[in-house]
């Protein structure tokens, strides 16, 4: 299956790193021990990783055969507030925290690529970016502020994916991850006695009608050719069964793979919330919290990523997305500044196909680690060569 393979020694090292990181997961912006593990490995290769004060990020430059800017490779670091239930021998030792999205694998892949790049210098210098707080949607923006993209010409990243079997690399141009926004709708009515509803403005009724009305935005206002999602995740109101609630708070998320659709969803939520509350005499406040923009792979870097994938696993194992991924990914912020491509590493575990990312029983096939390390190494070489030729 593989057109290229890493040595058994490096494969074992990457696997051990993944398991060490998996056992000590840390939430976003708290990845101090993870940072120490990364520093330890990079320094053992003779590299000089750096961070800034009070940050959990890691950046290190690997010298190339020449100069002329950097090819950047990125891995995310943070875990999730989930109690692990996988039963793995190397299960999380931290109560209520788990690597349930494969970030432990991403770190290990990039550390493996670091070793390959040091052994055989690439055409252009390579910057390795280990990013905290991806799950919070803030880590990429912070690293950009820290200067992680200074003199970077192109950037690549990827994500472990349990939808695809081990050995498959998924490479597509265009929108590959949706934008993500959270919203909060605060309704103010007039509370009162449950026996005298005519003296009140019932925030529960207004909120309930609003939940139903908001569902018509995607079904009746958005072109079906542009996938989008609007979900209400929480509805809080009331304090007792015989008291009519004077206030209610709805919270939810919207996802879109087109920036115009994203704008329309936000405007429609405001319009419908205001109209519904006006209809019933209530007041309303709608607040949006942007998490990530649409992640758009450009054609040129995607071509490089695909060439690297073919070299690593062979043409037959390189696939394209068959449907849009509506999950958000803050790698998109890097692509707002430099061209790049984000791919997916097939890592499905037989018998565990039904456990998605962000599940307490999420796991992935560790054969993806070596493939990921090779792809990172290969794409850095291909991109560096292409940039020097231009």
* Known catalytic membership, residue 135: no
* CA pair distance 24, 31, nearest whole angstrom: 9
Residues whose CB is less than 8 angstroms from the CB of residue 258 and which lie 6 or more positions away in sequence, other chains included: 175, 226, 228, 294
* Known catalytic membership, residue 263: no
Task: Indicate which residue of 134, 135, 161, 330 is catalytic.
Answer: 134
Q: Position of tokens 């037989």?
A: 350
Task: Indicate which residue of 78, 202, 330, 365 is catalytic.
Answer: 78
Q: Position of tokens 């998996």?
A: 22
Residues whose CB is less than 8 angstroms from the CB of residue 331 and which lie 6 or more positions away in sequence, other chains included: 74, 76, 134, 140, 157, 177, 295, 340, 342
> Which contacts of 40-49 are long-range, i.e. CB under 8 A and separated by 24 or more positions?
41/17, 41/111, 41/114, 42/111, 42/114, 42/128, 45/114, 45/115, 45/118, 46/118, 47/114, 47/118
Helices (runs of H) and strands (runs of E) counted in the chain: 9, 15
Which spans in 88-226 are helix H? 103-119, 139-145, 203-221
Q: What residues are labeled active site?
A: 78, 134
């Amino acid at each position: 299956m593989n057109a290229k393979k890493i040595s058994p020694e490096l494969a074992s090292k990457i696997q051990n790193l993944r398991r060490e990181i998996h056992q000590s997961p840390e939430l976003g912006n708290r990845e101090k021990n993870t940072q120490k593990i990364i520093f330890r490995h990079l320094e053992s290769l003779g590299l000089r990783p750096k961070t800034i004060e009070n940050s959990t990020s890691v950046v290190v430059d690997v010298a190339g055969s020449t100069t002329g800017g950097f090819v950047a490779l990125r891995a995310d670091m943070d875990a999730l507030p989930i109690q692990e239930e996988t039963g793995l021998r190397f299960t999380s030792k931290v109560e209520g925290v788990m690597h349930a999205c494969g970030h432990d694998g991403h770190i290990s892949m990039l550390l493996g690529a670091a070793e390959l790049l040091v052994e055989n210098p690439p055409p252009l210098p390579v910057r390795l970016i280990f990013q905290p707080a991806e799950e919070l949607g803030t880590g990429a923006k912070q690293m950009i502020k820290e200067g992680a993209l200074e003199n970077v010409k192109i950037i690549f990243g990827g994500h472990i994916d349990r939808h695809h079997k081990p050995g498959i690399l998924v490479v597509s141009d265009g929108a590959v991850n949706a934008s993500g926004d959270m919203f909060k709708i605060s309704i103010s009515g007039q509370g009162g006695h449950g026996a005298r509803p005519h003296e009140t403005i019932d925030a529960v009724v207004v909120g309930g009608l609003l939940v139903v009305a908001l569902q018509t935005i995607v079904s009746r206002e958005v072109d079906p050719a542009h996938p989008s999602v609007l979900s209400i995740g929480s509805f809080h109101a009331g304090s007792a069964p015989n008291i009519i609630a004077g206030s209610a708070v709805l919270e939810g998320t919207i996802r879109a793979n087109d920036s115009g659709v994203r704008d329309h969803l936000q405007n429609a939520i405001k319009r419908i919330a205001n109209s519904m509350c006006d209809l019933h005499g209530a007041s309303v406040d709608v607040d949006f919290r942007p998490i990530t923009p649409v992640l758009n792979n450009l054609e040129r870097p995607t071509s490089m990523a695909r060439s690297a994938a073919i070299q690593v696993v062979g043409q037959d194992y390189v696939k394209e997305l068959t449907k849009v991924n509506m999950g958000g990914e803050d790698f998109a912020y890097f692509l707002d500044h430099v061209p790049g491509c984000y791919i997916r590493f097939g890592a499905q575990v037989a018998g565990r196909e039904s456990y998605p990312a962000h599940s307490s029983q999420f796991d992935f096939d560790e054969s993806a680690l070596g493939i990921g390390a090779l792809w990172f190494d290969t794409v850095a070489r291909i991109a560096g060569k292409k940039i020097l030729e231009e």
